[in-house]
Chains A and B, each alone.
Chain A
Amino acid sequence: MSILVDAGTTFIVQGITGREAVNLTRECLDYGAGARIVGGVTPGRLGRDVHGVPVFDTVAQAVEHHGGPIDGSVVTVPPAFTKDAVIEAVASGVKLVVIVTERIPRADVAQMVEFAAMHDARIIGPNCLGIIVPDVVKMGGIGGPAKDAAKAYAPGSIGVMSRSGGMTTEISSTLTAAGLGQSTAVSIGGDAIIGSSYAELMPLFAADGQTEAIVIYTEPGGRMEAQLAQWVADHGDPLPIVAFMAGRFMDEMPGMSFGHAGTIVEGKEDTATEKIARLAGAGIVVAERIEEIPDLVRSKISERAAT
């Protein structure tokens, strides 16, 4: 099994006629069983098609054309228009929105997320590359062109969550090379406020029969790691977790921004050191180097199997 998406998931691409969106559409159609992209939306472009996907002016038109609810949307419109696009999708019954766009002001993100929650919809991102179920489906640019994605990702039992889109692939590729495939890999986004945090996705992985362990990529900034540590403590540690923390050097430079928008050390709780301590306190192993991750995952899984 997988989380969030499977071979049957229908989705649209908002902003489909943009250069990167055209590539992303091709990649998703080519990967695995072929994504069920049932439409694209770019206002004013009704009647065109992108790699055979019909383009509409509005999400409502796409839903009407499809003849029923559409499961998801990948949003790749410029930051100033993203909020409206996401609200449009949710208002049209879409339940899973992957926001690729970066540099969206926090107030807009918070508004979209709250609106989605009111409509029982989930947001992944913004500033993310989406979701991949190896060999089955990908929703978003994650892993790149189908042949590149096939090099990095393999089916298996490890759930991957990462604040960095590129590092989702780097870590998955390392796991794949070591013979550890992935159940689902999710690029959760690098901003200060995101639709779905580690802790918010953990229940899905915990309920997934295929997933045996979790690997997360994390950075300084924010309290998402503390939230995950708390979730693990509150839920009886259902899955072994291995973490990798990048940006340790930032502890020496508070107030400077590096990497993603959410990666800025503002208080003592934000530092890499503090986060590593919190994760370790919850029994989450923090790898020093990415190449150590596969062995750490294996030993964690066999530890569990022995008890």
Chain B
Amino acid sequence: MRFYEYESKEIVRRAGIPISKGGFATTADEARTRAEEVAGPVVIKSQVLTGGRMKAGGVQFADAPEEAARHAQDILELEINGHMPRGVLVDGRVDVAQEYYAGVVWDGLRKQPVMLFSDMGGIDIEEVAETHPDHVGRAHFSNVLPFGDYQAKEVIASVGVTGRALTRLTPILTRLAKLFVERDMTLAEINPLAQLADGSFVAVDAHMEMENEARGRQKALLADLGVGDEETREAREATEFEIAGEAVDAQDHRGVAGNVTEFDGNLGLVIGAGGGSLTLFDAVRAHGGKPANYCEIGGNPSVAKACGLAKLVLSKPGVDKIAVMMSIVSNTRVDIVARGVIKACVELGHDPAEKIAIFRIPGAWEEEGFKILERYGVPYADRTVSLNEAARRAAEEVGPSPTVQERPEAEPPHQNAGPEAPRR
């Protein structure tokens, strides 16, 4: 989960790292007040979760509060890469002698955090790593032993920084390492970390990303920052449909029927689990199908939950039919999902045999599940039909988006897929 710059700087400040003076504003008036508080030249920065704001005109400079307010007015109305700003950050301009970079990220293969440091701050660290690899220091650190100042010193010294700069940077890097671990970050970056004319250091810009799985235990911090539970902070914010999907998943604690993502096709998908959903979504598209959504079911959800998810997908405007498909299940029960999706159709006044393009979930309790499906005339398939073939049938059954074609020559869908699954 990505934080805005103003939130990131607050996180940095709370970790005991000095930041440049300034504050967040959501109106031109507030921006004027922030500029008055700074009492000097300021920079007004758009608060958006996307890059390229400088180029887009989302960063402006002002010498007086009135000018700051005018710039803030413009920036607050400026869309950048499809994102409207949350507000502006009005920061005092600092007299920079030298820009540094300090960051911590995970190394998934080493399974340890790695600290990155450079004396070429202010630009993208990947660019520095490519053009001046000797100016990027790296140091992995232990998950078990406490981070030591010596590790900060080693990484600072590795790019040739010494003297007062080294001793003053050391506690900043140590605090950043601790922040990364204690706040469950996946990225903690200060860039630029500026050395001022008087030799002191301040964080001018920061970029923090927190792991979604840790949001629960970081609740207090998130509440302080005003981050709501509904804010996913993904590449785009959740749609109403997606938020409704979360509500379905939250209705009881049994199993999963969530991670809904909205697309604009005509084939509703009730699919699972993690890997099965990814495989099926690819397969539907490969066969020319137009998914209306992505989702995941698994972990043995209740009938109510499976029903809720199916209803949500069936009610989405433009959805002609749904396909209910999963990789072979061992924990989730086939009969429960079957009951849930049939219930959804019936309660919405649809004929399940008409609305369900295909039901392909083999595995635990499949005999019971298939019996129910047969009773309602829902076309189903067992494990002898591959995920790919099931997706092909679903795509063919629903027809091209947006209007369903009549295909009288099509094979009757109400049939079992083939012979019994082979047994040893």
Q: Give chain A's interface residues, CB within 8 Å of chain B.
A: 20, 23, 79-80, 103-107, 109-111, 113-115, 118, 129, 141-145, 148-152, 154, 162-167, 169-170, 173-174, 176-177, 190, 192-193, 197, 217, 219, 222-224, 227, 244, 246-250, 253-263, 289-291
Contact = CB atoms under 8 A, between A and B. Distances in A.
Interface string B251-294: 00000000101000000000011111111011101000000001
Contacts of B108: 192-193, 222-224, 262
A151 B109 contact: no
A105 B234 contact: no
A219 B282 CA distance: 12
B142 A258 contact: no
22 contacts: A105-B217, A106-B184, A109-B111, A110-B143, A113-B143, A118-B144, A141-B331, A148-B330, A164-B276, A165-B274, A166-B274, A166-B327, A170-B279, A170-B328, A177-B383, A222-B108, A223-B108, A249-B285, A258-B259, A259-B274, A259-B278, A260-B274
B186 interface: yes
B361 to A, nearest CB: 11
Contacts of B74: none
Contacts of A113: 111, 143
A59 to B, nearest CB: 19
Nearest to B145: A114
B331 A144 contact: yes
B419 to A, nearest CB: 11
A256 B259 CA distance: 11
B326 interface: yes
A189 B265 CA distance: 31
Interface of B: 106, 108-109, 111-113, 142-144, 181, 184, 186, 211-214, 216-217, 234-236, 259, 261, 272-279, 281-283, 285, 294, 296, 298, 326-331, 363-364, 383-384, 386-389, 421-424
Nearest to B387: A290
A151 B421 contact: yes
B143 A169 contact: no
Contacts of A169: 327-328, 330, 363
A248 to B, nearest CB: 5
B386 A246 contact: no
A258 B278 contact: yes
B278 A166 contact: no
Contacts of B384: 177
Nearest to A179: B422
Contacts of B330: 129, 141-145, 148-149, 166, 169
User: Which 7 residue pairs of A and B lie closest in terms of their CB atoms, listed nearest first?
Assistant: A164-B275, A144-B330, A255-B235, A167-B275, A247-B278, A246-B278, A170-B327
Contacts of B216: 80
Given A107-B143, A170-B328, A145 B213 contact: no
B327 A167 contact: yes
A147 to B, nearest CB: 9
Given A289-B386, A290-B386, A110 B112 contact: yes
B234 A255 contact: yes
A106 B215 CA distance: 12
A248 B389 CA distance: 18
Contacts of A79: 213
Contacts of B294: 258
A293 B261 CA distance: 30
A166 B217 CA distance: 29
A174 B422 CA distance: 10
Given A289-B388, A291-B386, A166 B184 contact: no
Contact of A114 (B144, B327, B383, B387): B144
A275 B109 CA distance: 15
B144 A163 contact: no
Contacts of B274: 164-166, 190, 259-260, 263
Contacts of A257: 212, 234, 259
B282 A193 contact: no
A261 B363 CA distance: 25
B279 A246 contact: yes
Nearest to A80: B217
Contacts of A247: 278-279, 281-282
B328 A152 contact: yes
A17 to B, nearest CB: 17
Contacts of B143: 107, 110-111, 113-115
Contacts of A114: 111-112, 142-144
A148 B112 CA distance: 38
Contacts of B279: 167, 170, 244, 246-247, 290
Contact of B328 (A145, A173, A261, A291): A173
A103 B213 contact: yes
Nearest to B185: A107
Given A151-B421, A258-B294, A246 B282 contact: yes
